[in-house]
């Protein structure tokens, strides 16, 4: 039982050490690929250190001086490389890996002879020349350098005797080869793994970037459209004001004052329309994105009741605003008031019926919430069913019905920002039904 409990601790400890050494000397502001290089080198050194230490032990029992010394030198150099990494001397450590280590291997090879099987280490160095360096010229020169050392060692062994030839079996040679192959495979595995992780992180980043880019593009398009339409529509009442004040000035100079009340009226109307437009435009621009909403549980029954009280004050007794039991929605209260106020008000405004009525009903399932706002007003021709949600789109002049053409654009913006959908069914003279759908997550 005791052992069972201790085991995960030891594994955890080893994992922690592995993780700690893996990030030795990694700098926060380094490029991702550079971080991978440092990490792979750290991890590669740990693996080789473990292998070399085990081989070193085989030379302790029974003690075999030459083998012991050669492994010890390799271990010391590896520890030095790790220390260099820890001190963030990455370039030095990598150059040492691909220049000093191979020279050492060459020296060991020349000293102890072909039986050491040490020549296979050059394969690792040729491989790491490509992995650990950035410039192609450095990669190629180091790979060439290591390959030359390999050839030189082969040449030396064929033509000269070693100083202290080691007598080992061909089995030992096979072991050395297997170890070298294992190291190469491990380094490749770690490297490919890291690259895959890098690609995954990159893909995620790209997706976020693409998403933000699209958001920015939409916002930009919206802004452009907004600026164009707003300036265009604001100019209409301004033009009225300018032309009528011109007429006022002309008539004043001629001392003709009969049309003055009418002209003043037009100027006043124009100013009022501008005021409405500016207020609605401001309201439109204030509709925030979903991420920035202060959401709360909003009882739509209370929202509609309050709107009803306010609206009924402006109408005679011939108005009915009815609702069935409405849901509670997770939304920004101000936006819900704006949404229902615009739709209910339109139902009464665009209505020539003796008895004007607006019915609000809801039909929700666990997955979606559907709310309908149905009036018995003048109705809307099918060809305008999409257009009326555009900014400043009006189907009537200000003389027929007052308005700015922003009410439904505000409604659509609110619903869109909540990832919902708004549409309508209507025929001229037969009333209009607006539908709002929210997906419940
Ligand atoms: P506004 O009411 O300020 O003109 P809206 O964006 O609310 O702006 O409406 C755009 C146009 O859509 C209105 O000018 C009107 O012609 C038409 N409309 C909106 N709601 C209704 C409705 N319930 N019935 C008939 N027409 C409507």
Which tens digits make up the pLDDT trace of 304-334? 999 999 888 888 778 999 999 999 999 999 9
Per-residue pLDDT band for 225 (boundaries 50, 70, 90) equals confident
In the reported structure, the alpha carbon of residue 234 is separated from the centroid of ligand 1 by a whole-number distance in angstroms of: 18
Whether the CB-CB separation of 5 and 21 falls below 8 Å is answered with: no
Q: Does 298 contact ligand 1 (Cβ within 6 A)?
A: no
- Across 47-51, 218-222, 295-299, least confident range: 218-222
pLDDT at 242: 94
Whether the CB-CB separation of 232 and 239 falls below 8 Å is answered with: no
Identify any residues that bridge with 421 across adjacent strands, giving them in sequence order.
437
- Per the listing, tokens 């008539």 go with 251
In the reported structure, the alpha carbon of residue 397 is separated from the centroid of ligand 1 by a whole-number distance in angstroms of: 11
pLDDT at 1: 45
77 vs 168, which has greater pLDDT?
77
Q: Cis (ω within 30 of 0) for the bond into 349?
A: no
Atom of ligand 1 nearest to the CA of 403: 3
Q: Does 431 contact ligand 1 (Cβ within 6 A)?
A: no
In the reported structure, the alpha carbon of residue 264 is separated from the centroid of ligand 1 by a whole-number distance in angstroms of: 28
pLDDT at 158: 92
In the reported structure, the alpha carbon of residue 389 is separated from the centroid of ligand 1 by a whole-number distance in angstroms of: 9
Whether the CB-CB separation of 350 and 426 falls below 8 Å is answered with: no
Residue pLDDT, tens place only, 66-117:
778 888 988 999 999 999 999 999 889 999 999 998 998 899 889 888 877 7
In the reported structure, the alpha carbon of residue 395 is separated from the centroid of ligand 1 by a whole-number distance in angstroms of: 7
303 has pLDDT over 70:
yes
In the reported structure, the alpha carbon of residue 206 is separated from the centroid of ligand 1 by a whole-number distance in angstroms of: 41
Residue pLDDT, tens place only, 111-142:
888 877 788 889 889 988 988 888 899 999 99
d(Cα 111, Cα 340) in Å, to the nearest integer? Answer: 91
- Note the residue count of the chain: 441
6-10, 310-314, 420-424 — most confident range: 420-424
173 has pLDDT over 70:
no
The neighbour count for residue 331, using CB atoms within 10 Å, is: 23
- Across 168-177, 232-241, 411-420, least confident range: 168-177
d(Cα 238, Cα 273) in Å, to the nearest integer? Answer: 9
Instruction: Tabulate helix, strand, coil % of the chain (nearest 5).
Output: 65, 10, 25
pLDDT at 206: 93
Burial of 89 (0-12, 13-18, 19+ CB in 10 A): middle
Ligand 1 atom 14: residue of nearest CA? 394
Ligand 1 atom 17: residue of nearest CA? 395
Provide Rg for the chain, Cα atoms.
41
Phi/psi at 299 (5° precision)? -85, 110
d(Cα 382, Cα 425) in Å, to the nearest integer? Answer: 8
Q: Does 408 contact ligand 1 (Cβ within 6 A)?
A: yes
| Mutational pocket test of ligand 1: of 407, 413, 435, the residue with most ligand atoms within 8 Å of the beta carbon | 407
Q: Does 396 contact ligand 1 (Cβ within 6 A)?
A: yes
- Per the listing, tokens 């220390």 go with 83
Atom of ligand 1 nearest to the CA of 409: 6
Whether the CB-CB separation of 120 and 176 falls below 8 Å is answered with: yes
In the reported structure, the alpha carbon of residue 427 is separated from the centroid of ligand 1 by a whole-number distance in angstroms of: 14
Measured in whole angstroms, the distance separating CA 142 from the mean position of its chain's CA atoms is 40
The region, left, alpha or beta by phi > 0 then psi within -120 to 50, assigned to residue 31 is: beta
Contacts of 287 (CB under 8 A, 6+ apart): 335, 338, 410, 413, 414, 417
Residue 383 is given by DSSP the state G
Q: Does 384 contact ligand 1 (Cβ within 6 A)?
A: no
435 has pLDDT over 90:
yes
Angle subtended at Cα 388 by Cα 387 and Cα 390, rounded to the nearest 5 degrees: 70
Whether the CB-CB separation of 411 and 343 falls below 8 Å is answered with: yes
| Mutational pocket test of ligand 1: of 408, 412, 425, 429, the residue with most ligand atoms within 8 Å of the beta carbon | 408
d(Cα 436, Cα 420) in Å, to the nearest integer? Answer: 7
In the reported structure, the alpha carbon of residue 238 is separated from the centroid of ligand 1 by a whole-number distance in angstroms of: 23
Residue pLDDT, tens place only, 355-371:
999 999 999 888 899 99
In the reported structure, the alpha carbon of residue 408 is separated from the centroid of ligand 1 by a whole-number distance in angstroms of: 7
């Amino acid at each position: 039982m005791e052992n069972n409990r201790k085991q995960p601790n030891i594994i955890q400890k080893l994992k922690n050490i592995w993780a700690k050494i893996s990030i030795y000397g990694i700098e926060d502001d380094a490029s991702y690929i550079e971080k991978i290089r440092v990490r792979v080198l750290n991890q590669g050194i740990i693996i080789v250190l473990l292998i070399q230490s085990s081989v070193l032990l085989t030379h302790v029992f029974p003690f075999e001086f030459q083998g012991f010394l050669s492994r010890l030198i390799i271990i010391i150099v590896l520890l030095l490389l790790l220390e260099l990494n820890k001190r963030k001397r990455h370039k030095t450590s990598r150059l040492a890996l691909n220049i000093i280590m191979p020279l050492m291997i060459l020296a060991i090879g020349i000293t102890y002879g072909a039986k050491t099987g040490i020549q296979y280490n050059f394969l690792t160095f040729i491989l790491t020349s490509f992995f650990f360096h950035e410039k192609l010229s450095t990669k190629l020169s180091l790979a060439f350098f290591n390959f030359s050392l390999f050839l030189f060692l082969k040449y030396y062994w064929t033509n000269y005797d070693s100083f202290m030839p080691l007598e080992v079996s061909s089995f030992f040679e096979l072991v050395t080869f297997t170890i070298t192959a294992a190291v190469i495979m491990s380094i490749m595995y770690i490297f490919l793994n890291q690259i895959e992780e890098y690609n995954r992180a990159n893909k995620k980043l790209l997706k976020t970037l693409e998403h933000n880019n699209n958001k920015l593009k939409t916002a930009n398009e919206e802004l452009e459209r907004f600026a164009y339409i707003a300036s265009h529509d604001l100019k209409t009442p301004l033009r009225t004001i300018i032309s009528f004040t011109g007429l006022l000035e002309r008539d004043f100079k001629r001392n003709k004052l009969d049309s003055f009340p009418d002209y003043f009226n037009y100027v006043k109307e124009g100013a009022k329309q501008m005021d409405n437009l500016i207020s609605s435009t401001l309201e439109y621009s204030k509709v925030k994105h979903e991420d920035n909403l202060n959401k709360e549980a909003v009882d739509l029954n209370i929202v509609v009741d309050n709107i009803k009280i306010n609206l009924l004050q402006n109408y005679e007794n011939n108005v009915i605003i009815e609702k069935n039991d409405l849901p509670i929605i997770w939304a920004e209260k101000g936006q819900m008031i704006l949404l229902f106020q615009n739709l209910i008000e339109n139902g009464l405004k665009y209505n020539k019926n003796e008895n004007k009525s607006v019915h609000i009903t809801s039909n929700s399932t666990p997955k979606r919430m559907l709310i309908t706002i149905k009036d018995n007003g003048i109705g809307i021709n099918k060809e305008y069913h999409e257009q009326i949600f555009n900014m400043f789109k009006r189907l009537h002049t200000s003389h027929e019905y007052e308005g700015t053409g922003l009410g439904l654009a505000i409604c659509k913006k609110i619903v869109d920002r909540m990832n919902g959908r708004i549409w309508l069914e209507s025929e001229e003279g037969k009333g209009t039904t607006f539908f709002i759908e929210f997906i419940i997550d």
